[in-house]
Structure 1
Amino acid sequence: MSDLLDAVRAGASPAELLNCDLPTHYRAAYTRLDEIGIFEGETDKDVRRSIHVGDVEMPELAPDEVIVAVMSAAVNFNSVWTAIFEPMPTFYFLNKLGKKDRWGARHDQAFHQLGSDASGVVVRVGAGVRHFKVGDKVIVTPSAIDDQAPASQDDGVLAPDPIAWGFENNYGAFGEFCIAKATQLLKKPSHLSWEESAANMLCAGTAYRMLISRNGARMKMGDVVLVWGATGGLGSYAVQLVKNAGGIPVAVVSSEDKAELVRRQGCEHVINRAEVDFGDKGLSHPKGWRRLGEEIRRLVGEDPHIVFEYLGRETFGASVYVARRGGKIVTCGSSTGYRHEYDNRYLWMNVKSIVGSHGFNYQEAAETARLLDLGLLHPTLSKVYPLEQTGEAVRAVQTNNHIGKVGILFGATEEHQGIDDPAKRERLGENMINLYRQ
């Protein structure tokens, strides 16, 4: 047990935190270099076999970085990719980074501390950090960029070699401590607990860029937006953004329980895939696409201006088909497969657009965090695991045995800790904050 971590839990002052020794080792969840290939030839690549919990060595701190005592973290699908070593082992990224410079060399280890969303307390700052100090309560966002690259002054996502924290580098969210750039930090919302604060940024920020930002689909008031997987990590925030920005969300879900949940978020129009006959070949065939289009028009009377896409191979053909003439399909991922098939006639002859969107820049992160702090976005956290069960938490996401987001406690000893403004929480509504946990 670390004296420093104990001090953070006790609410120690900045001076008291600085007076505690930085531990040389700490507990973390990680994958191992020597286990690449353990799933070869297997159908069920169970991440519980490849995610380990144990001690790792505290790395040296770079001038533009901070050390955060992680109170809680959240699971994203990139942690599944890390743990099954696909589409390539993330140790390739660590090795590439290790060849870059002195600071990159720290990441090239025989272990990979994964995880891309966290909340916690800053316990050390590098010499070049200006806007954060020891004792600050923060959320850690996953976009780590080269802020000295010219392109990053236009849009951080365009900077060369952007890094998804905890996926393409080491010392990510899944540990009692993590290392992050100062430009990954934002102030923790005062009305949210540690696990609620940690659950949002990768998915909420990505959805914000896809839908609202000038770098995405540029949704406007009145736009009809089809949201695939509307109770998933990305979809659950997309529904909120569309609704609160004056759009008309049409949520696609896979069960009546999920349909009811998204209705409680304020989404009036819901398509339950389990109740619609898309034909023998489902959404892989034009017959299924036409049936989906009919269902959308039955609900809202028109075709969608925007299709919010991240499922990929399974749904992309349908997405291109159902978007209205001049509409947009905005995509940030391919959880069902990267090789998409669609009928290009429906794209070019109807002047539709495919918009690629990857992560978000620091300003977009700040705008998203502001919406969370104002209560215009709520967490969609559904279940929380302890550090020792990190593998179980990632497994839940791997098998889609979850809704919304899954959290993990690291420094926090139990759920509902870290709420600094209970009056604000009561005003914003406990029911909405905890909707997905109910």
Structure 2
Amino acid sequence: MQERGVAVSALTEAVFQGAAPEEIERIPLPAEYTAAYVREEDEGIFSGLTDKDVRKSLHLGPVPMPDLAPDEVVVAVMASSINYNTVWSAMFEPVPTFRFLRQFARQGGWATRHDRPYQVVGSDGAGVVVRVGSGVRHWRAGDHVVVSPAHVDDQEAATHADGMMGDEQRAWGFETNFGGLAEYAVVRATQLIPKPAHLTWEEAACSPLCAGTAYRMLVGERGARMKQGDVVLVWGAAGGLGGYAVQFVRNGGGIPVGIVGSERKAAALRALGCEVVINRAEFGLTDGAAADSGRSMESARTLGRIIRERAGRDPDIVFEHTGRATFGTSVFVVRRGGTVVTCGSSTGYEHTFDNRYLWMRLKRVIGSHVANLQEQWDANRLIELGHVVPTLSALYPLADVAEAARVVQTNRHIGKIGVLCMAPEPGLGVTAPGTRARIGEDRLGPLRGFGPGTGEE
């Protein structure tokens, strides 16, 4: 951990000692705090380069503590995690995220704080509330929380039907400032969820974005609405999103079919309980095949045959987030009347597929993005019960956040890569040791030992 000033140390000490809310609130917030951020002045540094190494653009250092709006809280971030949107921010793709900050600031008022020449990134976090705005009712200093990445406007009508449908919905730490890869974060009260008491800080921090996203895609009424017995094809099944998708499928009585790119990732997937595991090499999916429609169709037919042999029938649902390299295959292999649900395109946004297989076989494509607060709470409840467990596989200190992001950028990770922020060491934050013992250490850490690989996979 980096050295802190006296005020920060006093606040940190009070937080770790479980001080009363009044005592925590009496201690001044620091004027600055350590955070991972990108700079507007760096937007062009990757021009003409193939390898946009995020270690060159992701900085760590002091940033000013922002003022607090009435509906916000300040969280002392004990731990966070790396998501691919942080990689996008650090590559300034698909557009520099400073464009999002300027657009947000045009609302005026408190939103203008977000338009700065730097952006504190990170869309996950677990920690302790240390300040509450004057309009916050249900949270107090000292509360242990995890943070939903859905930053919504509760004064929009659409938000009250579904928080993800408002025009002003944003991804915290990607389309807003003051994100979670830092010692402190500023979040709206409508982003807060109680931390599962049996988890450590780093375990709790790795779940909100990926678990909530996977829950909405598969279980929520606005997603694929998975049923017991459904066969669900999961791309990138050993990654952050995929690891939670596999668990939701199994927990809901479905049959997950996981696609991975290496035997190391296949072993990790089996550790999560996925019995049907397919290596991409088995059906010849390569970047070249994705670009060549003939070879892509050939690999899709091979994949369909493998799935029928091992799972008994074509997939009812395909869980998509890889995009260009896989989307055409997804549309082809899902059963007649089945559903492709997508939340991203990490291999490219422009998809090519044969539309005949979509319309003539009455298939559906559903777009999904993060999760509303109720869906986040529902997913969190399954984590609290131990039915779904963290997919943390590796942990870095905040000082090495750029290296952690590089692991995700180069696809060398399994599950989630955690980052210790204010927590001085792993293993802290458990306040329900009895529940933890009942669930079991092995059950809570299925991907421990599956650290970053040595090359791209």
Bucket of the pairwise TM-score, normalised by the shorter protein: over 0.9
Instruction: Give per-residue Cα distances to partners, 1:357-381, cap 9 Å, x unaligned.
Output: 1111010000011111111110001
Cα distance in 2 for residues equivalent to 1:387 and 1:306: 38
Counterpart of 2:127 in structure 1: which amino acid? G
What TM-score does the superposition give when structure 2 sets the normalisation length? 0.94
Cα distance in 2 for partners of 1:381, 1:133 equals 28
Aligned residue identity for 2:68:
L
Aligned to 2:65: 58
Taking only aligned residues, the RMSD between alpha carbons, in angstroms, comes to: 1.2
8 Å contact 1:114–1:174 — kept in the other structure? Answer: yes
In structure 1, stretches of 5+ residues that fail to align are: none
Other structure's SS at 2:145 match: strand
The CA deviation at 1:257 is 2.0
Q: Secondary structure at the match of 1:407?
A: strand
- The runs of at least 4 aligned residues of structure 1 exceeding 6 Å deviation read none
Q: Which moved more, 1:71-80 or 1:276-285?
A: 276-285
> How far apart are the structure 2 equivalents of 1:263 and 1:96?
44
Alignment of 1:303-342 (within 5 A): 303-342=314-353
2:354 aligns with one of 340, 343, 349: 343
Contact 1:113 1:171 in 2 (8 A): yes
1:290 aligns with 301
Task: Say whether the 8 Å CA contact 1:145–1:159 is kept in structure 2.
Answer: yes
Q: Which amino acid aligns with 1:335?
A: S
Q: How does 1:11-160 map to 2 (within 5 A)?
A: 11-160=18-167
Residues 233 and 141 of structure 1: CA distance in aligned 2, closer, same or farther (over 3 Å): same
SS of 2:422's equivalent in the other structure is: coil
Any gaps of 5 or more consecutive residues in structure 2?
Answer: 450-457
Classify 1:132/1:295 alpha carbon distance in 2 versus 1 (closer, same or farther; 3 Å).
same
Residue type at the aligned position of 2:145: V
In structure 1, C-alpha distance between the alignment counterparts of 2:16 and 2:117, rounded to whole Å: 30
Alpha-carbon distance, 1:143 to partner: 0.1
2:428 maps to amino acid:
Q
Which range is displaced more, 279-288 or 237-246? 279-288
Q: 1:166 aligns with which of 160, 173, 176?
A: 173
2:205 pairs, out of 198, 203, 208, with 198
Q: Deviations over 1:291-322 (max 9, x none)?
A: 01000001012101000000000000000000
Q: Which amino acid aligns with 1:336?
A: T
Answering whether residue 251 of structure 2 is matched by residue 251 of structure 1, we say no
Whether the aligned pair in 2 keeps the contact of 1:67 and 1:125 (CA below 8 Å) is yes
Give how far 1:71 is off: 0.4
Asked whether the 8 Å contact 2:101–2:177 carries over to 1, the reply is yes
Within 5 Å, give how 1:175-324 maps onto structure 2: 175-277=182-284, 282=289, 285-324=296-335
Contact 2:121 2:174 in 1 (8 A): yes
Cα 1:280–1:327 shift into 2, 3 Å: same
Q: In 1, distance between residues paired with 2:280 and 2:167?
A: 40
Alignment partners' CA distance in 2, 1:422 and 1:163: 36
AA at the equivalent of 1:250: V
- Which residue does 1:405 correspond to in 2? 416
Question: Given residue 410 of structure 1, which amino acid in structure 2 is its aligned partner?
Answer: C
Give the residue type in structure 1 aligned to 2:115.
D
Aligned-partner Cα distance in 1 for 2:419–2:18? 20
Shift, 1:275, TM fit:
3.7
CA contact (8 A) 2:283 2:300 kept: no
Which residue of 2 is the match for residue 417 of structure 1? 428
- Give the secondary-structure state (helix, strand or coil) at the position aligned to 1:435: coil
The percentage of counterpart residues that share the same residue type is 54
**CA–CA distance in structure 1, aligned partners of residues 238 and 403 of structure 2:** 20
| Residues in 2 aligned to 1:280 and 1:130: alpha-carbon distance in whole angstroms | 51
Task: State the Cα distance separating 1:11 from its structure 2 match.
Answer: 2.8
**d(CA) in 1 for partners of 2:286 and 2:421?**
46
The aligned length equals 438
Structure 1 SS opposite 2:325? coil
Q: Indicate the residue corresponding to 1:368 in structure 2.
A: 379
TM-score normalised over the length of structure 1: 0.98
